[in-house]
Amino acid sequence: MLRIECPCCGLRDHDEFRYGGDASVTRPAHHDPDPEAWYRYVYIRTNQAGLHREFWQHVTGCRQWLVVERDTRNHAIASVSLARKLSARKSPARKSPA
């Protein structure tokens, strides 16, 4: 059984969570006109046999989205973090509209 250490709620059975897919995929910018970028975002996956970064949402708990690093060969979980903290760190500072 997978057990995920939710940063808000503690160690919980994975039945409380909903899988949200590969977290290493980055969405193209909203107005990106390149169909290739969208094709890759929607369809292409590295599908790692090993450490996999993935989204889970704690649906029957705090409802936070998490990023979990899990080994797909044996389900060992290496790390759990809040998705919004990671995305805040990653995205560039917003410019105010001109």
Report the b/e string of 11-50 with b at 16+ CB within 10 A: ebebebbeeeeebeeeebeeeeeeeeeeeeeeeeeeeeee
Q: What is the largest CA-CA distance in the chain?
A: 51
> Which positions from 14 to 33 touch other proteins by CB under 8 A, shown as an x/- string?
xx---x-xx-----------
User: Among residues 29, 30, 74, 93, which is the contact residue for other proteins, using CB under 8 A?
Assistant: 74
User: Among residues 5, 8, 13, 78, which is the contact residue for other proteins, using CB under 8 A?
Assistant: 13
N-term to C-term CA, the chain:
51
Give the count of residues interacting with other proteins (CB under 8 A). Answer: 26
- Alpha-carbon span 83 to 58, nearest angstrom: 11
Per CB under 8 A, the segment of 26-34, 59-67, 73-81, 90-98 that binds other proteins is 73-81
- The residues binding other proteins (CB under 8 A) are 1-2, 13-15, 19, 21-22, 35, 39-40, 42-49, 52, 54, 70, 72-75
